[in-house]
Amino acid sequence: MTMMMASPGSIAFEAEALCLSYPKRFVGETRVLQDLSFQLPEGAVVGLVGRNGAGKSSLLRCLLGLTAPTAGSSRLLGCPSNALTDELRERLGYVAQTPNLFGWLSGHEHLDELGRLYRDFDARRALALATQFDVTMGTRADKLSLGDQQKLSVVLALAHDPDLLLMDEPVASLDPLARRDFMRALFAERSPAKAERPRSVLLSSHLLGDLERVVSHVMFLREGRVQLVDEWDALVENLRLLKLEAKPEAALPGLVHERPVGGGVWHALLDLRRADGIAADRGQVLRMDDLFEELNA
């Protein structure tokens, strides 16, 4: 019954003016990430949400030091992404969008390989997870279905009980029951040595109903920028959608976002914490998919 809390002030995921751009073939550049800054506390379970091409995978790769940013910096548990220490790497689990498996190795053989790499590797934990997820461990990875490959990737990422977990659409190919098991596995009991440490998770997904169950925070990305980042409960309690007959004034207190919806009608997204009581009783509460539409349509 102990409430798991991080030591106050410790930051799990952090970016400062992070930019990533690629030169275009002939002239100009494609801006993938534009001036991203955020700090997310240890123990947070963060949903990374945005349309395809919004920069979610690029952000995850920058945080992991797999892609070098054009400008700015990022840190994982205080450790700069471009100089992750071995100690930090041992505390890290990553599930890439395309399962990162060795096609010629079976699940069991993958576990053997990982066991040599990670000191905290726990074969029993991994096998229990594989059973829970119903992954066929004896088959070559390239003979598994995409769903089974994803499940195996998740098992491998969780096998050393990482403090930090970054996942890029880990459950896109899983059925609803397997996704429930996946969510349970995120919060499974930790090994005794780490029991007091909360795990921090950053996962991108389009399955917003799933995210609503598990996230503590949500970060909305659009065209390489952070649109909104906050605690999810706070957003549910404080964001309200108002339907207006005209374009809202820019000075409307608490205005977060606006968009025309046709017929002269405008949608205004207000934050009650800053709205001076305006929308308190006539605004509409937004679930994550409604909010996604408001922010991206």
Partner 1 sequence: MHMDFNISPQDTLPIYRQIVEQLRRGIAGGQCRPGDELPSVRALAQLHAINPMTVSKAYSLLEAEGLLERRRGVGMVVASTQPLRAGKGERLALLQPALQAAAAQAVQLGLDEQAALRLFQQCLQEETNK
Q: Which residues bind partner 1 (CB under 8 A)?
A: 1, 3-4, 43, 45, 180, 183-184, 187-189, 198, 209, 212-216, 232-233, 236-237, 285, 287-288
By C-beta, is 142 or 237 nearer to partner 1? Answer: 237
Maximum distance among all Cα pairs of the chain, rounded to whole angstroms: 64
By C-beta, is 114 or 183 nearer to partner 1? Answer: 183
Nearest-approach distance from CB 1 to partner 1, in angstroms: 5
Nearest-approach distance from CB 183 to partner 1, in angstroms: 4
How many Cβ atoms sit within 10 Å of the Cβ of residue 172? Answer: 15
By C-beta, is 15 or 129 nearer to partner 1? Answer: 129
By C-beta, is 150 or 200 nearer to partner 1? Answer: 200
Q: Which residues, 6+ apart, have CB-to-CB distance to 152 below 8 Å?
A: 99, 101, 107, 110, 130, 135, 137, 141, 144
By C-beta, is 237 or 293 nearer to partner 1? Answer: 237
Position 7, amino acid: S
Nearest-approach distance from CB 2 to partner 1, in angstroms: 9
Cβ–Cβ < 8 Å for 136, 88: no
Nearest-approach distance from CB 209 to partner 1, in angstroms: 6
Nearest-approach distance from CB 297 to partner 1, in angstroms: 20
By C-beta, is 109 or 181 nearer to partner 1? Answer: 181
Nearest-approach distance from CB 163 to partner 1, in angstroms: 16
Joined together, the tokens standing for residue 192 give 């005794």
By C-beta, is 4 or 17 nearer to partner 1? Answer: 4
Nearest-approach distance from CB 194 to partner 1, in angstroms: 15
